[in-house]
Amino acid sequence: MELKLDARISKSALRQPKEIGCYSTDISHNYHNDTRGLKYYYFPESSLEDDTIDLNTGYKDFERDPEDTPRHLNGMLQCLVGIEKKTNSKVKADIITYRGIMTRLMCLPYEQREDINLNIVYFDGQIFIEEDFELKKFNKQHMDDRMARMTYWGYKFETLATLAKPWGQSTRAEIDNRLLQKTNNIEEYCSLVRTGVGSVKLILGAEVDCVFDYKPEKSSDDPLPHYVELKTSKVIRTEKDAANFEKKLLKSWAQSFLLGIKTIIYGFRDEDGIVKAIETFETAKIPFMIKASKHTNRKWNGNEAIAFYAACLDWIKTTVPQKEGVVYRLQYRAGSPKLDLAQLTGFEEKKVLDSMLLPEF
């Protein structure tokens, strides 16, 4: 498909995300239809000055998800089934998937260094998209030591910057001992939102790092403005650091924008993993920050990213055959100018059905 982008779509055709459900996963990978995994932001700012916030703390005790079995869309589907039983009606959407997958598609015009393998099935009027387990496993297994450590820093920052209960209900020890608390990447709290772009209606499931204050109890109160995305990045000392950070902001912005998360809190750490500063960003302002920036000539543009995302989802919706029991594959190869949609099962070899050209920004 030749791509004609209409940047106006970004303004007119975005549906404001709305939470329709949530769930938690515990350390044993068990699903819970509640908010027990929700965390509360509380950063020990006073420790910043004495350089004691070392994200390496407890690295050898990190409880890493072995990710030895594919979990497909299990968590969000279980949550959806619960909602459908409760309301006695089907949750209607064209595409049901995880937010992380959509983030990758949205960033693709600017970020083409990694392969993407997505599996797609059509069932009962809806398209389900999941990340292919084999490629994901391969990438995790081939992470070098430095990368693995930096990944730990991200999780450690989450442990350090949040409490399992609101501040007022936490003990002094729970507040003070977070640096020594064991870190894992298994427990999580997830939100399910109804959203959409253009004519494509979506249900997205996503992990949410924490709330800034509390999650409203009344279902009529929107919880999304309370959610916060946490991130780590290298302290900005040079022009090059600033340019790299602005490039990285694309992913954080897209990730938060897609779920309707309004606040991103960055922990800036040095090369050794010591947190030096904390900064809060408003998601909606990030594209304007990039526009105004003097650090880089090769800027990303929020409206363009949204326009590509809209075109891509429209293409998926209209191109995936409405055939049940067949697995399709959306495939991108690093550096390639196009995305392919292929039929994965039912043929001896994978058969490419259609391709979409990426725009050049």
Q: Can you give the binding site for ligand A3P, defined by CB under 6 A? A: 151, 154-155, 157, 209, 231-232
Can you say whether the dihedral through the CA atoms of 210, 214, 215, 221 is positive or negative? negative
Place of tokens 């430095």: 146
Binding site for Mg ion (CB under 5 A): 207, 209, 230
- Nearest to ligand A3P of 157, 332 (CB atom): 157
Minimum CB–partner distance for residue 167 and Mg ion (Å) = 20
Residue 219: both structure tokens together: 């279902």
Residue 232's binding partner among Mg ion, ligand A3P, none (Cβ under 5 to 8 angstroms by kind) is: ligand A3P
Q: How far is the CB of 259 from Mg ion (least distance, A)?
A: 11
Structure tokens at 343: 């039929």
Supply angle C-alpha 144, 145, 149, rounded to 5. Answer: 120
CB of 145 to ligand A3P, least distance (A): 13
Residue-wise over 59-89: b if at least 16 C-beta within 10 A, else e? eeebeeeeeeeeeebebbeebbeebeeeeee
Which partner in ligand A3P, Mg ion, none is near 155 (CB below 5 to 8 A by kind)?
A: ligand A3P
φ, ψ at 229 (rounded to 5°)? -100, 130
Least Cβ distance, residue 250 to ligand A3P (angstroms): 13
Contact 339, 355 (CB under 8 A): yes
Q: 162-184 burial by CB neighbour count: b if 16+ within 10 A, else e?
A: bbbeeeeebeeeeeeebbeeebe
The two tokens of residue 319 are: 């191109």
Residue number with CB closer to ligand A3P (98 or 155)? 155
Minimum Å gap between C-beta 201 and ligand A3P is 24
- Between 200 and 250, name the residue whose CB sits nearer to ligand A3P: 250
Nearer to Mg ion, 157 or 328 (CB): 157
Give the C-alpha distances (Å, rounded to integers) separating 27 from 21, 37, 65, 158: 21, 10, 9, 16
User: Please, which residue, 51 or 114, has the CB nearer to ligand A3P?
Assistant: 114
Tell me the C-alpha to C-alpha distance, in Å, between residue 333 and each of 27, 115, 129, 315. 34, 5, 18, 18
Nearer to ligand A3P, 110 or 155 (CB): 155
Shortest approach of ligand A3P to residue 151 CB, angstroms?
4
Which is closer to ligand A3P, CB of 265 or CB of 342?
265
Specify the residue, 40 or 157, whose C-beta has the smaller distance to ligand A3P. Answer: 157
Q: Which residue is nearest to ligand A3P (CB)?
A: 154
Strands (E), the chain: 14-25, 31-32, 40-41, 95-98, 116-123, 126-131, 162-163, 188-197, 200-207, 210-211, 227-234, 263-269, 275-282, 327-332, 338-343, 351-357
CB atoms within 10 A of CB 133: 16
Q: Pick the closer one to ligand A3P by CB: 261 or 356.
A: 261
Q: Which residues of 188-205 are buried (b: 16+ CB within 10 A; e: fewer)?
A: bbbbbbbbbbbebbbbbb
Report, in Å, the least distance between residue 141 CB and ligand A3P. 12
Task: Tell me which residue has tokens 């299990």.
Answer: 74
